[in-house]
Amino acid sequence: MSVHTAVVLAAGEGTRLRPLTRNRPKPMLPAANRPILEYVFDALVDAGIDRIVAVVGYKRDRVQDHFGPTYRDVPIEYVVQSKQLGSGHALLQARDAVDEPMLVVNGDRIIDSHIVAGVRDAFDADTGVPTLAVLERRDVHQYGAVVIQGEDVETIVEKPETDEYRLINGGVYAFDETVFDAIEETPRQQGELALTDTLARFVETGQVRAVETNGMWVDATYPWDLLTMATEVLARGRTDEPERGTNVWIDDDAIVHDAATLQPPVVVGPDCEVSPGAVVGPNVALGRNVTVGANATVERSVLDADTRVDPGSILQDTVTGQAVHLGAGTVVPGGPADVRVGTHVFEDQRLGAVVGDRARAEGNVSLAPGTLVGPNAHLHTGVLADGHVEEDAEVVR
């Protein structure tokens, strides 16, 4: 029997991506100009999955509103994880919705349908041996390192500090329905149930099969990762907009003035308007209904839905949330910059600025490289900002 149901874990906020997650969970952040979760669903549907159970929680209305009851004719059932107590706890919420073998995937990373198909094909429902995807990565220290012996997992080391490891856990699993009991039997760590803890118990007490796969697998941990994510998506041409020139994708319902210049790769979403003299690209993704004013320059940036860039602005290495309004002559020079997230300072990151949902800059505002602007913040005319601008802040010169 082939597995035809997938449980997608899409309940977490992704706190390290603040301020972009003020109004939506990480799976709904843009990979180029579509939500990450759309790529996950695409991978599942392309691999032949015909039922999706989405575990939603943090700001779940954004997931539900975007996808509704079906995605590409595959029905989606929503189950709610009201407190985010770990990935194992999230999967447990799907218990009443699933009583058969299933795939389990994280909703907040782009995956390829080959990875999904690989795990599905390797999983033997008769034995029910848990199966997971492993793939080769350089940055193993950020993920769960997996050591395999033949097809079997020997150990899993979470976020290893040594660099002897080569393979990571790709976050794509196949289980049978006994996984729910196994999660319940797993001791909680500081109140949380991580799916990887249950997996570790499977490794200790029985067998876990590993499927070595390759293909697109892109994660975003910090806001500036959305820039590299967009670059990867565009480099692979993974957009669903029509291609109008080499690596220039423009939606049918977008308006790009004849006197505007699009430098590939670039994608322009539906309802966008790009004015005369604007130079957009390379490596730019304009989400739905974005407006770029006359003579504005936008390079290596992700501008999410409803963002408005007024005439004469210059944006490099910039990520905007939704409905951000940057007034005439806003300037954001690109990185490198030192960016503080929480108590940690990340040095030499290539980042111009991250601007939270509905933040507004009046004209002639400059944002120093590495600036994080909180949602709904209001930067008045002529402000020079750097570091962190708090949510709802009124900043005057």
Partner 1 sequence: MCGIIGSVGRDGETLDVLVHGLSKLEYRGYDSAGVALTGDGLQTRKCAGEIDDLRAELEHEPPAGVVGIGHTRWSTHGPPTDENAHPHQDCTGDVAVVHNGIIENYQSLRDELVAAGHTFESDTDTEVVPHLIEDALADGAGPEAAFRSAISKLEGSYAVAAVVDGTEAIFAARNDSPLVLGIDDDAYYLASDVPAFRDHTDRVVYLEDGEFATLRADEWIVSDGTGETVEKAVNTVDWDPEETGKSGYEHFMLKEIHEQPRALRQCLRGRVDELAGEVDIGDLADLSPTGVQFVACGTSYHAALYGAQLLREAGIPAQAFLASEYATATPPIGDALVVGVTQSGETADTLSALREARRRGARTLAVTNVVGSTAARECDHVLYIRAGPEIGVAATKTFVSQLAALNLLALGVTNCPDARETIAALRELPSDTQAILDDSTAESVAEQYADASAYFFIGREHQYPVALEGALKLKEITYKHAEGFAGGELKHGPLALVTDDTPVFAVVTGDDATATKLVGNVKEVEARDAPVVAVTDGQSDVERYADEVLRIPETHPRAAAVLANVQLQLVAYHTAARLGRSIDKPRNLAKSVTVE
Please count the residues of the chain. 397
Q: How far is the CB of 157 from partner 1 (least distance, A)?
A: 37
Q: Is 96 in the site for partner 1 (CB under 8 A)?
A: no
Binding footprint of partner 1, residue count (CB under 8 A): 32
Q: How many Cα atoms sit within 13 Å of 185 on the Cβ side?
A: 11
Q: How far is the CB of 318 from partner 1 (least distance, A)?
A: 18
Q: Is 259 in the site for partner 1 (CB under 8 A)?
A: no
Q: Is 322 in the site for partner 1 (CB under 8 A)?
A: yes
Q: How many Cα atoms sit within 13 Å of 237 on the Cβ side?
A: 7
Residue closer to partner 1, measured from CB, 23 or 84: 23
Distance CA(275)–CA(174), nearest Å, equals 49
Among residues 69, 150, 187, 191, the one that binds partner 1 under rule CB under 8 A:
69
Q: Label residues 64-82 b or e (16+ Cβ within 10 Å = b).
A: eeebeeebeebebebbebe
Q: Determine the 3-state secondary structure of 37 from DSSP.
A: helix
Residue closer to partner 1, measured from CB, 67 or 202: 67
Amino acid at 156: I
CB 90 within 8 A of CB 55: yes
Q: How far is the CB of 207 from partner 1 (least distance, A)?
A: 36
Among residues 255, 279, 368, 393, the one that binds partner 1 under rule CB under 8 A:
255
Select the span of 161-169, 265-273, 332-340, 380-388 touching partner 1 (CB under 8 A): 265-273
Q: Which residue has the tokens 């029997």?
A: 1
Residue closer to partner 1, measured from CB, 139 or 252: 252
Query: Who contacts 223 (Cβ-Cβ below 8 Å, separation ≥6)?
Result: 17, 18, 19, 20, 319, 351, 354, 372
Query: Environment class of residue 206 by beta-carbon count within 10 Å: exposed (0-12), middle (13-18) or buried (19+)?
Result: exposed
Angle 49-167-104 from CA coordinates, rounded to 5°:
25
- Residues 45-64 vs partner 1: string with x where CB under 8 A? -----------x---xx-xx
Q: Is 26 in the site for partner 1 (CB under 8 A)?
A: no
Among residues 26, 89, 120, 358, the one that binds partner 1 under rule CB under 8 A:
358
Residue closer to partner 1, measured from CB, 170 or 269: 269
Residue closer to partner 1, measured from CB, 292 or 332: 292
**Nearest to residue 260, comparing CAs of 240, 278, 284?**
278
| DSSP conformational letter for 339 | E
Among residues 2, 50, 65, 136, the one that binds partner 1 under rule CB under 8 A:
65
Residues numbered 326 to 355 that lie near partner 1 (CB under 8 A) are none
Q: How far is the CB of 392 from partner 1 (least distance, A)?
A: 11
Residue closer to partner 1, measured from CB, 194 or 274: 274
Angle 218-23-197 from CA coordinates, rounded to 5°:
50
Among residues 306, 310, 317, 362, the one that binds partner 1 under rule CB under 8 A:
306
Interacting residues with partner 1 (CB under 8 A): 23, 56, 60-61, 63-65, 67-70, 73, 75-76, 78, 80, 252-253, 255, 257, 270-271, 273, 275, 288-289, 291, 305-306, 322-323, 358
